Amino acid sequence: MERTWRWFGKKDKITLAMLKQIGVEGIVTALHDVPLGEVWTQEKIHDLKTYIESYGMRWSVVESLPVVESIKYAGPDRDGQIERYKVSLRNLSAEGIHTICYNFMPVLDWARTDLLHANPNGSSNLYFNYAEFAYFDIYILQREGAREEWAQFRFPEGYGEGRDVLAEADAMAKNMTPEKDHQLVETIVIKTQGFVSGNFKEGDKEPIEKFRKFLDLYKGIDKAQLRANMKYFLEAIMPTCEECGMNMCVHPDDPPIEILGLPRIVRTEEDIQWMLDAVPNKHNGLTFCAGSLSAGAYNNVVEMARKFAPRTHFVHLRSCHIFPNGDFTEASHLGGRADLIELARIFEQENPALPMRVDHGMTMLGDEDKGYNAGYSFLGRMFALGQVQGILATVDRELGIKYQQPGFFD
Ligand code: DNO
């Protein structure tokens, strides 16, 4: 697979020169300065592309060309927004970029409750604690119906036996302070969302008020309706994708659970099969994010990779560990539930040219002081990339695939 790296543009503290030294071939990025819902002009795309190429790499994948909420909940300006999306697709294609990662998660892109959870080795990783998330939902967001929903909440079989998430959230409420509440809001709403071109930004004055307004937009939208809206969007853009050879690849919901009373429709094997069948066109494909999928105990990630490899246009290699109590953390790229070694075999066999990026990584050895985006450290991700490069070199030898590591004499 093509070794790519998610880079956040010229403001990223990690430079392209650094990436060149560690074997990165392709860049995954977006026009982060273009406001949501505005067209990406060919000129801006061209500028960034040329900049990337001046470092001897290429712009391999767009992550993300954001799908605005009004397309997701079918607001009155949905058709206008879809038209703009198509213009951006055409402009990207005119610059030779043909792979688009996007998501169809309402309101929140991805979610974690702790961005620096200590690992036994002294580094840290991203972590999701159900009780903290329930506390946020019930006590901070004060979402109508949240308490009743958490009272009904059940972990998948084999996990969280005897655990009462609602009781834990209530117990937490007794010890929380305004500072701790603020920290949780920063984690769930700002730090994880601010840099992914989502709905929330660093410096948002009243993020919770804003959050509630977004939630209101989804009143009455259930799973079937969200599916219908996704199908509508995909059917509308497919002729453009065919015309300009654009591969759309939806990112699975992260984590793959229903949260905040919102429907989530890219969580399981059945969901993915549904969305591929709903619009049976090769250009309607998947970002195989092994990390997101492996956070769902019901997902057999290797089986899913075998099944969906032919419709996968982009791969995220990462792996999660689910604790017996049901919470999850991001594991080593050589451990966890995702089995990245087997996934590398499957995807190398399917298509050795598939763009792949190492997703997230430990925060380690001073990464924490550098102000990197949550999950997107330098040393931790570089360590993971080294591990994945080793996996790929081994798998390639097994499969007889010849690969020349760029930047070396041999
Ligand atoms: C988080 C990322 C997501 C992803 C988007 C794709 O680390 O995996 O923000 O980029 O959901 O649209």
Domain boundary assignment for the chain: 2-109+221-399, 130-216
The finding on whether 385 has its CB within 6 A of some atom of ligand 1 is no
Q: Which two tokens stand for residue 104?
A: 């169809």
Distance 358 CA to ligand 1 centre (A): 13
How far apart are the CA of 397 and the centre of ligand 1, in A?
Answer: 31
Consecutive 10-residue averages of pLDDT for the chain (410 residues): 97 97 97 96 98 98 97 97 98 98 96 97 97 98 97 96 97 96 95 90 91 95 98 98 98 96 97 98 98 98 98 98 98 97 98 97 97 97 97 96 82
Q: Which of 109, 130, 218, 251 is catalytic?
A: 251
Ligand 1: residue of 65, 127, 196, 376 to mutate (most ligand atoms within 8 A of CB) is 196
CB atoms within 10 A of CB 302: 19
Q: Which of 289, 320, 333, 367 is catalytic?
A: 289
Residue 404: the pLDDT is 82
Does the C-beta of 101 come closer than 6 Å to ligand 1?
yes
pLDDT of 229 reads 98
Q: How far is the CA of 361 from the centre of ligand 1 (A)?
A: 14
Non-local (6+) Cβ contacts of 318 within 8 A are: 289, 290, 291, 294, 330, 333, 338, 340, 358, 359, 360, 384
> Quick check: CB of 106 below 6 Å from ligand 1?
no
Calculate how far, in angstroms, residue 300's C-alpha sits from the geometric centre of ligand 1: 21
Report the pLDDT value the prediction gives residue 341, as an integer from 0 to 100: 98
332-349 burial: b if 16+ Cβ within 10 Å, else e = bbeebbbbbbebbbbbbe
CATH classification code of 2-109+221-399: 3.20.20.150
Quote the ligand 1 centre to 251 CA distance (angstroms): 7
Query: Catalytic residue at 241?
Result: no
Query: Of 12, 253, 254, 359, which residue is the catalytic one?
Result: 359
Residue 22: the pLDDT is: 95
* Active-site option among 253, 316, 367, 372: 316
Task: Using most ligand atoms within 8 A of CB, pick from 62, 64, 359 the residue to mutate for ligand 1.
Answer: 64
> Using a 6 Å cutoff on CB, does residue 267 contact ligand 1?
no
pLDDT of residue 205: 87
46 is catalytic: no
For residue 109 and ligand 1, the question of a CB distance below 6 A is answered with yes
Say if residues 84 and 94 touch (Cβ distance below 8 Å).
Answer: no
Instruction: Find out whether the peptide bond into 64 is cis, omega within 30 degrees of 0.
Output: yes
Which pTM value belongs to this model? 0.97
- Going from the Cα of 289 to the center of ligand 1, the distance in angstroms, rounded, reads 9
Residue 51 known to be catalytic: no
Of the candidates 377, 360, 376, 353, the one whose C-alpha atom is nearest the C-alpha of residue 3 is 353
Atom of ligand 1 nearest to the CA of 103: 12
Q: Which of ligand 1's atoms lies nearest the C-alpha of 64?
A: 12
